[in-house]
Structure 1
């Protein structure tokens, strides 16, 4: 079973416009709303591909009611901890003419210490049936700095590997606490490590004990960095679509393989890149296209060569 924790869930709202023009009024059809946050998206994708999952998160306020109803309607097994603060919202505006997306994320409200303790209790209860723990997404402002290390340490004590997708100082805390895999994007890696070279930044995390760094490069694919090798996977041609949730789909692929006992970086990189690409073809985060096997067959996977023009970041 894949156990996911979303410390800062969101009710994701998506609107599509013909063209987004700064400072102008826009007409749009009714938007879509669904339970989101990175860990929830990971659970959705893995569940859709037949994996056993359990999504643990918090829920509060009117948006929390809508969040819980949507997650239940989607059939994703979950345990939601009631909190006083309202579940935050995330707004994605898809520009149809450009094929890009503008995202507005509320920061979220930090749960009280007893609420965090209840969430940790749900994780502890679920760990005996888990093959991997995924902690994914931002932390709300004011979240205790011990939260990630405590979750990771609890899983490691239970013999469960941990995959973390977060940013800022929390990324370094996750590495120091013993995360097996981390998945930053290029900007997050520079922000956390202060190192502009992507391989150097990733290697600074493996030096802290991380087994595998999956580094998202957007349209340029993904890197898999270990202490001994660096691999690059990319499609033979870029895709147009909605990139929201593409990284979450990559984490889901990694989690599914980890739950099956697979640790080969090339296999993980290939599947993660294919699922990320397949997510771009879907209108909402938390979904991947059934065309992912065809996308996987189009991938070019090579040792990373920083001097090659097509691989420069």
Structure 2
């Protein structure tokens, strides 16, 4: 099924910009998070384990070595010719500027790396880091990826996120003042959230100056507070059909110019506690596409 007819997808955007297949390389810089180092807390968000979405690669490989290993695999699998360095694990603006400058520079020293995506929290983007990234963006594509998760402050408190919706608004404003594009991360199926709450997040994002979204399914990772909630009956996972409805309706309330970088997550199978269907990515995408076509939905229909 051609997703381009249903929503504005990320690979097409990159191909339009660079004229070839561009693939992200997930990088682990060995950083941490204020929600784990004691600044805000020590246990992280309820869905995050000690790896913080990381691979652990920083323990044994430099950034340059991670890129070289990934390039070989991605070029063979996807015929990719250019790459984006995606600083994914933990909070990738949460370190002194000089350290960040070295990390970003190491990634960009590879001639096939045409840009960066920096995954971070909206309460961890000081102006000097944004100024540096703005300077880098003169010659490279640079995205800031902010974990909002929900536009509901009560939800953010419930999941122990440690920041407010206002912090996201502030980060977006300062980022866009420097002409850097913003990708907002949201999670569907968070504890205590209704269907209406999720749709309110879509409408919120459509009203903000963002350029992309990543939509994630809330899956339960072993060793997290959320796993405890699941085992005690405090949390119930969405079914695949429920997720397809939520994601499809979310897209229908999203401005049509916003790029959709992701429609579901990619859990590590060995870490996944529930739902087991979360690892079946293609089936999950097809479920979203089927729901949208069945209900006559396309991105932006209900904006």
Aligning the two structures, in what range does the TM-score lie when normalised by the shorter sequence?
0.3 to 0.5
TM-score by length of 2: 0.40
TM-score by length of 1: 0.39
